Amino acid sequence: MVSSQPKYDLIQEVGRGSYGVVYEAAVKRTGARVAVKKIRCHSPENVELALREFWALSSIQSQHPNVIHLEECILQRDQLAQKMSHGSSSPLYLQLWMITPARGFYVEPGPLGPPLCSVDLSRRGASLLSDGRHTPALIGLSQRSCLQGNNDNGAELSENTNRGIISARSLQLGAGGSFQLVETSLKGEIAFDPCCAYYLWFVMDFCDGGDMNAYLLSRKPSRKTNTSFMLQLGSALAFLHRNQIIHRDLKPDNILISQARSPAGSTEPTLKVADFGLSKVCSTSGLNPEEPASVNKCFLSTACGTDFYMAPEVWEGHYTAKADIFALGVIIWAMVERITFVDVETQKELLGSYVQQGSEIVPLGEALLENPKMELLIPARKKSMNSHMKQLIRDMLSANPQERPDAFELELRLVRIACRELDWDT
């Protein structure tokens, strides 16, 4: 169990949404600032997004200055708390169990000890059967839009619920505990004790500068800032793909600004890629469980993300990590030329590239899916643009993902452009 002594002081609320609440907090021992995200596990969707973020960030064995760092994650049930962590970094850490409603579900023994509970699925509405030690042992998840389609080349959740088959993934919890948190795809049901309140607390880097969208739109365009941001984002994406993580929702709103953590001698802020709620960890190759996955060969089928940043193949439902390259291409093009649109729901001005069709604007990926041979007008607003920069954006936004650079080639090309100090306007 975690210590009963408070480790953090909550200073103030800095954000709130359907997912939960984010606080600025301070580490009691050092005074260091951190962000604490509190997510109430009252709906399958909230739990699913939170566990995907935990799964991605906790799978990273090292830190990167441009990727948000997860300090720790705490699972709370009423007044009890348990630190969550990966019990193993093995690709076999992802396990699938098949169950049927007639026989119910039983948590198999794991390396941390015997099972603590079972869930009776034979009655209408799954119920939690505790062993009396008051430790939460199972969280059930329903399917949602971001889990529809095929199995994402060995995805965590199965589509076979209407045939009575449910797959599950176990997350080992800290060495001080002896239970497993299991997510299931039991559609429409969640195996929480209704008398208890469950929360997930994420302790992460604190970013004091808002998000990339608000930062850029509140300032005049700057080639120096653009260069810095492109290099940081290229480095972050290469790091994520090297760690077998596909983000799947890259957009300026999910890129945070940490002004207090700028590199020595730099006047530009540090970017942090955040919000891994839709991310996918491609832990194995699929053919050989012992072989690390190549994110460019890990085919996914779940159409998820934010429409104005989604690649054509995501709309189609068959894509790889090259979809992240397309999303970053949309961001870079919009940043360089200050291309914006207004979100119809929030009326917020957002950085993003699009295609004008009459009086309507259409997401770039959707338009390219309809017409893969469509010629993009680059630059769209500037009178001219450096040929190297123009070609890079064109390559990143190619309708054919095979023609896009991977994250490692992209990082090198961005460095070459920056080192040559090319004038993008000529």
Domains 1-103+187-206 and 208-423 share a fold: no
Amino acid 195: pLDDT: 64
Residue 286 has pLDDT above 80, yes or no: no
- Mean pLDDT is lowest, of 89-93, 260-264, 288-292, 349-353, for 89-93
Mean pLDDT, residues 260-276 taken together: 80
Q: Give the residue-averaged pLDDT of 403-420.
A: 94
Topology annotation, domain 208-423: Transferase(Phosphotransferase); domain 1 (1.10.510)
On whether the CB atoms of residues 183 and 306 are closer than 8 A, the answer is no
Q: 192: which 2 tokens? A: 């929480």
**Segment 288-300, tens digit of pLDDT:** 555 666 899 999 9
Alpha carbons 183 and 192: distance in angstroms, whole number: 12
CATH number for the segment(s) 1-103+187-206: 3.30.200.20
Using the predicted structure, report yes or no on whether residue 246 has a pLDDT greater than 90. Answer: yes
Q: What is residue 234's predicted lDDT score, i.e. its pLDDT?
A: 98
pLDDT at 48 over 70: yes
- For the cut 70, the answer to whether the pLDDT of residue 79 exceeds it is yes
Q: Report pLDDT for 223.
A: 92
Question: Mean pLDDT over all residues of the chain?
Answer: 75
Nearest partner of 58 among 225, 227, 194, 243, judged by Cα: 243
3-state secondary structure labels for all residues of the chain: CCCCCCCEEEEEEEEEECCEEEEEEEECCCCCEEEEEEEECCCHHHHHHHHHHHHHHHHCCCCCCCECCEEEEEEEECCEEEEECCCCCCHHHCCCCCEECCCEEECCCECCECCCCEEECCCCCCEEECCCCCCCCCCCCCCCHHHCCCCCCCCCCCCCHHHCCECEEEEEECCCCCCEEEEECCCCCCCCCCCCCEEEEEEEECCCCCEHHHHHHCCCCCHHHHHHHHHHHHHHHHHHHHCCEECCCCCHHHEEEEHHHCCCCCCCCEEEECCCCCCEECCCCCCCCCCCCCCCCCCECCCCCCHHHCCHHHHHCCECCHHHHHHHHHHHHHHHHCCEEECCCCCCEEECCEEEECCEEEEHHHHHHHCCCCCCCCCCCCCCCCHHHHHHHHHHCCCCHHHCCCHHHHHHHHHHHHHCCCCCCC
Residue 119 has pLDDT above 70, yes or no: no
Q: What is the mean pLDDT of residues 126-133?
A: 27
CB 25 within 8 A of CB 11: yes
Query: Does residue 313 contact residue 323 with C-beta atoms inside 8 Å?
Result: yes
pLDDT: is 384 or 211 the higher one?
211
pTM of the predicted model as reported, rounded to 2 decimal places: 0.76
- What pLDDT shows up at residue 131? 29
| Least confident span in 13-27, 54-68, 113-127, 148-162 | 113-127
**Domain ranges (residues) in the chain:** 1-103+187-206, 208-423
Q: What are the pLDDT digits (tens) for 150-166?
A: 345 433 333 232 322 22
Per-range mean pLDDT, top range of 127-136, 157-166, 383-392: 383-392
pLDDT > 60? residue 102: no
State residue 339's pLDDT score.
Answer: 96
Lowest mean pLDDT across 186-195, 238-247, 280-289, 417-426? 186-195
List of residues 6+ apart from 62 with CB closer than 8 A: none
pLDDT digits (tens, 9 = 90+) for 174-217: 333 323 333 333 233 444 555 677 888 999 999 999 999 999 99
Q: Phi then psi for 109, rounded to 5 degrees? A: -60, 140
Which pLDDT score, from 0 to 100, does residue 110 have? 29
Average pLDDT over residues 133-145: 29
Give me the pLDDT at residue 261, please.
53
Establish whether 187 is an annotated binding residue.
no
Q: Taking 80 as the threshold, does the pLDDT of residue 381 lie above it? A: yes
Residues catalogued as catalytic:
249
